[in-house]
Amino acid sequence: MKTFKIFILCALCTFVAQAQKQYQLASPDGKLKTTITTGKQLTYDITFDGQQVLKASPLTMTLDNGEVWGENDKPSKASRKSVHEKVASPFYRADELPNIYNELTLQFKGFNVVFRAYDDGIAYRFVNRGKKPFKVVDEQVMYQFPNDAEASIPYVRKSNGYEAQFFNSFEAQYTNDKLSNLNKERLMFLPLIVKQENNVKVCITEVNLENYPGLYLKTNEKEGQLISEFAPYPKRVEQGGHNMLQMVVKEREDFIAKVDQPRSFPWRVAIVTNEDKDLAACDLGYVLAEPSRLEDISWIKPGKIAWDWWNNWNLDGVDFETGVNNPTYKAYIDFASKNGIEYVILDEGWAVNKKADLMQVVPEIDLEELVAYANSKNVGLVLWAGYHAFNRDMENVCRHYSEMGIKGFKVDFMDRDDQDMTAFNYRAAEMAAKYHLILDLHGTHKPAGLNRTYPNVLNFEGVFGLEQVKWGKPGEVDLITYDAMIPFIRQVSGPMDYTQGAMRNATMENYRACNSEPMSQGTRCHQLALYMILDSPFNMLCDTPSNYEREQECTDFISAVPTVWDETVVLEGKMGEYIITARRSGDTWYIGGITNWDARDLEFDLSFLGDKAYSGKLFKDGVNAHRIARDYKSEAVQAKKGDKMKIHLAPGGGFALVLK
């Protein structure tokens, strides 16, 4: 009898061994490794330089026919390849980017799972090979960490009820806490950071969010675990929300996505590094994206924009009442033309309010006259558009305003990332491209690769930007700390329309919210530095022309800073504390650095410079910037390759340096 039991046990072990199979995949440099296990459950883990940073974590997709991809599945084929190439990256932080990885594709019945290992991250995605339509009931995305690690996460905005969290603007400051202490009733949006031992950080994001709902994460009772949540597909929507420009979901389906044909699903990405500056330099959000679908991009013109809304259309010293009218916008156009600024935007107010009809222009605005005037000054005009107004008549709107001479749209208040809305972003990009229009997608989720697939989409919000100071109470809004976080988290997913450039600057003690005459937190040089720190190919100048004209030296610097780059180097950085970034355009280098509310001395070397002598100009915090935030000093500098530079930053401070 004992012999028989032993035989049964051995047989079971053999069956399990046969049913389960493991595959290893390593990054090109060998430091990052993942072990993929198939059989009863499809899982993967991650080790970094021998340290486990992610325990075996399951991945499944549940279909409406009851099928569960990733459970009790045996691959019929495994194939590998290695890629070492460079990809063009127009309108981004470099003119081209390395795309170097090892790949493993596991082929199952009807679907594949593809894994990629880069030197700075592990990514995977499901691929549907079947032609029969189906619905995705759920996708299981789980991150099981080896300990109760500290995380830096953005919660969705507070709302009444769990479901209401799916209606959000993807704007939030970061909460830093142990995974076990995070609010189990609150959803988190991506990207987010989980910190492991030895300063190893795992940044979780997703790429190729096309026609599929965005991923939220939440905690549960199990220590060290983050699990997925997706907005179900909208069943019934009603016009409402901000100025009747949104479509509010009133009822949802019992599935998250419709699938009508073979397709690839979004990449699930875990970026892993023990150097904070490498997070800020990571390009996986771009190289994992689908290549450009536009054959001709010669008409796409990035640049800076004179913005009206942040400064409340304020001008002083003029002989007309400012506001949404032609005289005001002609003054903005004059300012842009004089300072070499490429665009002026007409933000909310130019179209008749609460009509959701972009063909109804307010009587105070003569658009054709403004377009003609702007053209005569070599300035392009961009129009703000609410989501529903743009979506309901998209092609007519694009055709009409393109023919008039409008250069693009800033589309706002989507405030969702269910499948219906992510599909809209791609449709909008395609339609805008058809009529040679650029897009700035405001009120939306992280870029997730759309800017590579449709390069006419130059910028995205999905950031707790400078607009927050118009209403944010002292002690509740801390943009200085946030500024020292976003290059390492939010910016990993792509560019952001943060809208920097404030000329009214305040210390922590002197800051107050003001809608009509807003002020930034931190120093003047902090604002200047953000033009180098942040990726923003379509970049707002938030303040009023009157303030810029009083601060012409700073305005001259901002106007000269490019918005796209040939090369970007993150020199130094520590998440939440400081960062120094150098960017090259041609033979000219622009270098910016910021700190949090701690004053500090930063030293960096100039080994990245070319083999010539450079001269330039340095903007640094003034001696009294800790008391008067607008205080700064500019000075001429000389520099060469290998030199070291040391600069003192005031609390909330920064510096900006140009070398030619």
Active-site residues, by number, are 412, 467
Angle CA 458–463–469, to nearest 5: 120
DSSP class of 398: H
Q: Which residues have a Cβ under 8 Å from the Cβ of 313 and sit 6 or more positions away? A: 322, 323, 324, 328
DSSP class of 292: P
The position carrying tokens 């379509």 is 538
Any bridge partners for residue 153, and if so which?
175
Asked if 413 contacts 443 with a C-beta cutoff of 8 angstroms, the reply is yes
What HEC string does 432-461 produce? HHHCCCEEEECCCCCCCCHHHHCCCEEEEC
How far is the first Cα of the chain from the last one, in angstroms, to the nearest whole number? 87
652 to 542, 575, 595, 598: CA distances (angstroms) = 19, 15, 6, 7
d(Cα 497, Cα 495) in Å, to the nearest integer? 7
Q: Which residues have a Cβ under 8 Å from the Cβ of 605 and sit 6 or more positions away? A: 642, 643, 644, 645
Phi, then psi, of 424 in degrees rounded to 5: -60, -45
d(Cα 581, Cα 487) in Å, to the nearest integer? 10
Q: Which residues have a Cβ under 8 Å from the Cβ of 389 and sit 6 or more positions away? A: 245, 351, 355, 356, 357, 358, 397
d(Cα 322, Cα 645) in Å, to the nearest integer? 45
Q: For 76-83, which contacts have Cβ atoms below 8 Å and span 24 or more sequence positions?
A: 76/107, 76/108, 76/109, 77/106, 77/107, 78/23, 78/104, 78/105, 78/106, 78/107, 79/104, 79/105, 79/107, 80/25, 80/104, 80/105, 82/28
